[in-house]
Structure 1
Amino acid sequence: MDVSFQLYSAREATPWEDVIAKLAALGYTQVEGFGGVYTDPAAFRALLDQHGLTMPSGHFFPIGNFEETLDQTLATAKILGMNRIFCPAPEDLWRDGTDAANWIALAKRLHEAGKKVNDAGFAFGWHNHHWEFMPLPGGEIAMDLILEHAPNIDWEMDVAWVVRGGADPLKWIKAHADRITTAHVKDIAAQGECADEDGWADVGHGTMDWKAIMTALREVGVDLFVAEHDKPSDCDRFARRSIETIKGL
């Protein structure tokens, strides 16, 4: 199977020439972009082509990339060969704690952005963290509000962040089977382990039941799986162990 790699995981393992060469050698065929590799899209595309890698998806943060600078965002995505684009996180207002009204307002902005991105020929969606699953003051769940008030957008499920938000990913996969197109594959370390890595683990070396999760994701049609680690102490180790696990699932 094809396995993608979120390049944010390797932001401290550069130069990118070395990172891309190592990923290709390990058997990755795809990567997912983030802001740190968009400075010269044509040059980065040439690097990917040199090693036989593609970039079917990318993150653009903040949401203003789909509003004030949409033309630049779409041009970057086109050069790099993306077919699906995700807004990966909310800004500070939503991270620091807010109410349902602000999440609904954000969802409506995503809905409008999605129309424009779709019209340009790209799929568009939201990538979650844990904030979206933590009850709001009125008891609402932000992820529900996003999916309800932005009915045209896809969802890139970051499964481990769902768990960190206190939710059951299998229930969410079943409930929103028609919205999830892409998944971030990462792991959570056992309690007290990997403190220097913010409690994250290499895929298959943590507490997540990835066999059951991967089965559920495939059953609902997810076709892009992206390995990620938010703070690996050894990116080469993470990349190697994770693709070994994912290919065996």
Structure 2
Amino acid sequence: MSRYIISFQLYSARHFPPLEAQLDWLAQCGYDAVEPWLPAYGDDAALFRRQIDAAGLACSGFHMPLAGLVNEPKRFFDYAHTMGTDTLIPPYLTPEERSITADGWRRVGEQLAKGAAAAKAEGLKVAWHNHDFEYHKLQDGNRPIDLLLGAAGPDVDFEIDIGWVTRGWADPAQELERYADRITAIQLKDTARPGTAADEGWTATGDGIIDWTALVPLFGATRATVLVAEHDNPSDWKVFASRSIAAMRALVGG
């Protein structure tokens, strides 16, 4: 039996409503949980909870804007309690929000630390989710990911997206080892060969260039209990979902 919860990031199916049918199909595929993104839960989190309960799925955590954690944390804490999860995941900064200085990235980490402290008082936790830009070195040689997580401190967890690490020209194995004590969720996002135009170059887990069999042994050294399937823009979300979970179950058992 696998030690991991296998979850599906609902952003991957955003172009293929309705949500209720998605949830039923994901449960039939064998997923344990879903990872929603705003606005999937924003209009009516209680309804979203009823829908996942009816499908037999859990909420493994949810993506949310960093601005929400900074400016209206209580709103998002209430969402977490309603959906039955303890993990809030800010996943992105717009190009305009990305600093070109080390101090700017440290400030992002400090915002996360403040949000995590407030979340902890509610029995909740905060985890950062990466893209590729956090691995592009600044002029002073620092990497934003190191500055951000360093300033955030140990109470901020890390949902590592292996596909974006790879596209950031970093070594996923090294990143899994470097942040083993911070990683609580792993997105097994796979990428096709550079230059692939179809589906923006993303593909199902196991169908791309990432050597998952080499990486999976490193998962056990992290704190991760959740593995997540995600694809930014699949042309056929069901093919992506079914192929990904088959590969993920084969890799980790269960």
Alignment TM-score > 0.5, same fold: yes
Equivalent of residue 231 in structure 2, options 229, 232, 244: 229
SS at the partner of 1:44?
helix
Q: Which residue of structure 1 aligns with residue 194 of structure 2? A: 191
Aligned counterparts, 1:126-205, within 5 A? 126-151=128-153, 152-193=155-196, 195-205=197-207
Kept in 2: contact 1:94–1:103 (CA 8 A): no
Q: Which residue of structure 2 aligns with residue 32 of structure 1? A: 35
Q: Which residue of structure 1 aligns with residue 212 of structure 2? A: 210
Give the Å deviation of 1:221: 2.9
Alpha-carbon distance in structure 1 between the residues aligned to 2:182 and 2:194: 32
Structure 1 unmatched ranges of 5 or more: none
Give the Å deviation of 1:92: 2.9
SS at the partner of 1:148?
helix
- The one-letter code of the counterpart of 2:138 is L
Give the Å deviation of 1:148: 1.1
Aligned residues: CA RMSD: 1.2
Kept in 2: contact 1:4–1:30 (CA 8 A): yes
Kept in 2: contact 1:133–1:142 (CA 8 A): yes
SS at the partner of 2:31?
coil
Q: Which residue of structure 2 aligns with residue 60 of structure 1? A: 64
Q: Which residue of structure 2 aligns with residue 108 of structure 1? A: 110
Q: Which residue of structure 2 aligns with residue 84 of structure 1? A: 87
Give the Å deviation of 1:191: 3.2
- Residues 186-208 of structure 1: per-residue CA shift (max 9 Å, x gap): 10112333x13111111110001
Q: Give the stretch that moved more between structures: 83-92 or 50-59.
A: 83-92
SS at the partner of 1:14?
coil
Runs of 4+ aligned residues of structure 1 deviating over 3 Å after TM superposition are: none
Kept in 2: contact 1:24–1:53 (CA 8 A): yes
Kept in 1: contact 2:193–2:208 (CA 8 A): yes
Give the Å deviation of 1:108: 1.0
Size of the alignment, in residue pairs? 246
Alpha-carbon distance in structure 1 between the residues aligned to 2:147 and 2:193: 31
Structure 2 unmatched ranges of 5 or more: none
Alpha-carbon distance in structure 2 between the residues aligned to 1:129 and 1:10: 19
Query: Does residue 99 of structure 1 match 2:95?
Result: no
Equivalent of residue 121 in structure 2, options 113, 119, 122: 119
Kept in 1: contact 2:182–2:223 (CA 8 A): no
- Residues 10-45 of structure 1: per-residue CA shift (max 9 Å, x gap): 100111011111101111110001102111111111
Instruction: Return the TM-score normalized by structure 2.
Output: 0.93
% of aligned pairs identical? 35
Give the Å deviation of 1:147: 1.6
- Residues 60-119 of structure 1: per-residue CA shift (max 9 Å, x gap): 11x121122111101111111112111111233344x62212111111111111111111
Q: Which residue of structure 1 aligns with residue 26 of structure 2? A: 23
